[in-house]
Chains A and B, each alone.
Chain A
């Protein structure tokens, strides 16, 4: 990624935190500062940290495959038991997880599709189009990143019930339809990846602006859109605070259902863990398949959402 931008390798320049632009494809090349080989200590440290990263997830599986009595026993179980499927079944029935899964897919899916379309449009405008107020508007976009959702949940809740979206999926979909991070991410990518000549050529051929977007910008933006899509999906799937306030037991997302499963009554812990497993496995699969792209995407200019 750094090797693709000569500006970054000029000696003496200190890279700004957000200026690490990359190809966004996740194909990371060796960086400039990378010259020494890792020794045994390096690998030992990485193995320890790696085990620490994986273990809680592994233990979710362990706890989800025993009955509650065994999970709460001393010493706690360290290898999976045989009750995984019956626990999954109980979790499914007790917490209405079927509906929750459908809801999570609808919410995360529609947020992802909308984010990709609108953020690519806005990112393109900020990266390659000239218009009055571009600089200040871009600053405004970035500034919105620093506003925590907590500051506006009270009126947002009132607004949603006012317009009849109280407890409905619309109330969690619409506020996150176009994120500032996505706009910024697409802008950074298109700034480098999309040459002006390509836009000019299309315009000479008589293409109007939207035609340029459709047949020039979107194809060029596709690798970055894939990364943004995965990051957005992960974020939307895992979102907790606002969905927990906005939705209720009868119409939850997976995370909300999980929160309520543990918060409402004295729950069976192994069934809670089975629910946690159901909510986590889809994303872990995405990570196993696209880990490389996600890592590359975060490294090429990421901001904590």
Chain B
């Protein structure tokens, strides 16, 4: 690959009887080729970096500037320096801390069961099955459903009086659970939506990783007398560790973004404040409410920076836990 330049244009007439003007043309041409080779890779990757720079990196940094200013939704072109006031405002707001804790709680109760179920499902799909593609497609259909559709359907299904879930539960002795207004039940309802939408997707990622585990490992384990469960625990899980860590990171980032589910669970004005007691208000809802409902973009930008700090903290914890697991495994 490194020496493609000299071989290029080998089909043009061989040198020898070439006049000096031909020579000039050839060096000119060679220069053009070289420029083409040098510049093309950068030209091909440029669109990504241009788009990311303009609509990703620049806004990200600009967020920091806005967070130190007073900017109102109604007058976007006016800004006034307020220093750390916006940060002080949100850090002293108990609603902000409620949103932090809600985001964390919903993140845990939606991610942990989801990944466990996905792991088990992937194990089942890894057996030799009839119509294996059919099963894979079926469990992936929720992925094709939008947040809006999923949230709206589940909002109906989780209705307090006469909702489908409550109707089913009344057969086993639970009566009229007020899903949307309960401290825990509302979080569970949101987690159910998340779990429903993403389990199939994670299953396929685990399945792909399981299929890459060499058969020899299982054979060796079987010779050592390991049963199926032991094989799953001692061969499959350790081989999947990088994939599992990866899905945990991705799910964590995903749960920081929860917006459509809480917004539409009860809909209307309740959705925009995350329930009458803010019982399911996530950080994204808090940001939206501050910036777009109340119209104060400065504090909203401060919330965005707080989210960045939280993400970095989570990444750090992930890294420490990952190292710890690695050490204890070795």
B210 x A33 contact (CB < 8 A): yes
Within 8 A of A (CB), among B92-147: 121, 124-129, 133, 135-147
- Which chain B residue shows the least CB distance to A208? B36
Instruction: Classify the interface of chain B: helix, strand, loop or mixed.
Output: helix
In the docked arrangement, what's the CA distance between A69 and B307, Å? 42
- B273 CB–A CB distance under 8 Å: no
Residues of A close to B124: CB separation below 8 A:
38, 42, 45-46
A141 x B48 contact (CB < 8 A): yes
Instruction: Report A54 CB to chain B, min CB distance, Å.
Output: 6
Residues of A close to B239: CB separation below 8 A:
14-15
- Which chain A residue shows the least CB distance to B218? A33
A72-B159, A125-B40, A203-B7 known; A31 vs B63 contact (CB < 8 Å): no
Residues of B close to A208: CB separation below 8 A:
33, 36
A209 x B263 contact (CB < 8 A): no
A53-B139, A258-B149, A298-B140 known; A304 vs B212 contact (CB < 8 Å): no
By size class, the interface of chain A is 35 or more
B263 x A151 contact (CB < 8 A): no
Binds B, one of A81-89, A154-162, A220-228: A154-162
Residues of B close to A199: CB separation below 8 A:
1, 4
Within 8 A of A (CB), among B177-230: 196, 198, 200-201, 204-205, 207-218, 228
- A153 CB–B CB distance under 8 Å: yes
In the docked arrangement, what's the CA distance between A180 and B65, Å? 26
B250 x A50 contact (CB < 8 A): no
A200-B4, A240-B260 known; A298 vs B145 contact (CB < 8 Å): no
In the docked arrangement, what's the CA distance between A13 and B315, Å? 26
- Which chain B residue shows the least CB distance to A196? B1
A2 x B212 contact (CB < 8 A): yes
Instruction: Report B287 CB to chain A, min CB distance, Å.
Output: 6
B121 in complex: contacting residue of A35, A49, A283, A304, CB < 8 Å = A49
- A18 CB–B CB distance under 8 Å: yes
In the docked arrangement, what's the CA distance between A255 and B264, Å? 12
Instruction: Report B106 CB to chain A, min CB distance, Å.
Output: 15
B264 in complex: contacting residue of A122, A131, A161, A262, CB < 8 Å = A262
In the docked arrangement, what's the CA distance between A159 and B148, Å? 26
B40 in complex: contacting residue of A1, A209, A258, CB < 8 Å = A209
In the docked arrangement, what's the CA distance between A269 and B163, Å? 12
In the docked arrangement, what's the CA distance between A34 and B236, Å? 12
The 7 closest A-B pairs by CB, nearest first: A31-B211, A291-B137, A152-B59, A38-B127, A238-B146, A17-B246, A175-B55
- B residues whose Cβ falls under 8 Å from a Cβ of A: 1-2, 4, 7-12, 33, 36-38, 40-42, 44-45, 47-49, 51-52, 54-56, 58-60, 62-63, 65-66, 71, 76-77, 121, 124-129, 133, 135-150, 152-157, 159, 161-164, 167, 196, 198, 200-201, 204-205, 207-218, 228, 236, 238-239, 241-243, 245-247, 249-251, 253-254, 256-257, 259-260, 263-264, 267-268, 271-272, 283-284, 287-288, 291-292, 297, 300-301, 304-305, 307-308, 311, 315
> Can you report 20 residue pairs joining A to B where beta carbons are below 8 Å apart?
A18-B246, A30-B128, A36-B128, A38-B124, A38-B128, A60-B149, A121-B44, A125-B44, A129-B41, A152-B60, A152-B304, A183-B48, A200-B4, A204-B7, A234-B144, A284-B144, A298-B204, A299-B208, A301-B208, A304-B198
